Structure 1
Amino acid sequence: MIAILTLLVALPLGLLIRNRLAAYLTYAVVFGQVYTFQSLNLILEWVNGSSEAFTHDKTAGLGATLPYLIVTSAIYAAGFGLVTLGHWLRNRRRSATATEVRLDGPTV
């Protein structure tokens, strides 16, 4: 869920929101909401007996959830990278159209 969100939302946020800090904050809030929903779904599945996301080994401790933390943190960082890329593309497009083109020739 969060990977799909990152791919669909992060780059357009960078392109559409002029203020980069506001784009970062918007991405962080949306990511936090979807991350909470995804984590709750995974925990409910685990409680119901599924071991696809987390193991049932009680001796594993933090090692059982560390891969989940690493993957979600990498997706989170990639989202910020996509927001930055979108902002950079927006500024590049704006500066390319802002240059003046004179067609009447040079004046001497």
Structure 2
Amino acid sequence: MNIIFTLASSFALGYFIKQRGLAILTYLALDATVFAYQTLAVLLEWLGPQQGFEGEAFGPKPNGFPVQFSPHELAGYGVVNLLVITAGVGLVVLGSHLARRRVRTRPAPQRLEPAA
């Protein structure tokens, strides 16, 4: 879900929002919402009655609290999402760069002088 959002929107945000900082901030704010929804969806799927994904989202289904989990799985989830966010910011910067380059290479409009 996060990867699809990043690929679908990050370049466009950089291209169409003129201020690069605002484009990055917009991407990060929207991605934070998608990331929170994705995390909740995976967690609820894991805890659900069917143990979605064969119970492999975060390991076997817990049978008590506190939940026992592998720190490596949690760190892996964080690292993968950090890489996705980094790629998204890179695509925003690329979109911004290409938009500025396109504006620079466009010829300036010629001014017409009134006929005397």
**TM-score, normalised with respect to structure 1:** 0.84
1:95 aligns with 2:104: yes
Per the alignment, in what secondary structure is the counterpart of residue 65 of structure 1?
Answer: helix
User: Who is 2:60 aligned against?
Assistant: 56
Per the alignment, in what secondary structure is the counterpart of residue 34 of structure 2?
Answer: helix
Mapping of residues 22-101 of structure 1, within 5 Å: 22-48=22-48, 49-50=51-52, 51-56=55-60, 60-98=69-107
- Cα distance in 2, alignment partners of residues 17 and 78 from structure 1: 18
Q: Percent identity?
A: 33
Q: Deviations over 1:64-94 (max 9, x none)?
A: 2111111111000000000000011011101
- Cα distance in 2, alignment partners of residues 81 and 41 from structure 1: 26
How big is the alpha-carbon RMSD for the aligned residues of Structure 1 and Structure 2?
A: 2.0
Contact 2:13–2:23 under 8 Å retained in 1 = yes
- Cα distance in 2, alignment partners of residues 92 and 78 from structure 1: 21
Per the alignment, in what secondary structure is the counterpart of residue 18 of structure 2?
Answer: coil
Question: How far apart are 1:46 and its partner, in Å?
Answer: 1.1
User: Who is 2:11 aligned against?
Assistant: 11
Per the alignment, in what secondary structure is the counterpart of residue 106 of structure 2?
Answer: helix
The structure that is helix-richer by fraction is 1
Task: Name which of structure 1's ranges 53-62 and 69-78 shifts more when overlaid on structure 2.
Answer: 53-62
- Cα distance in 1, alignment partners of residues 91 and 56 from structure 2: 29
- Cα distance in 2, alignment partners of residues 53 and 71 from structure 1: 14
Task: Name which of structure 1's ranges 29-38 and 62-71 shifts more when overlaid on structure 2.
Answer: 62-71
Task: Extract unaligned runs of 5+ from structure 1.
Answer: 102-108
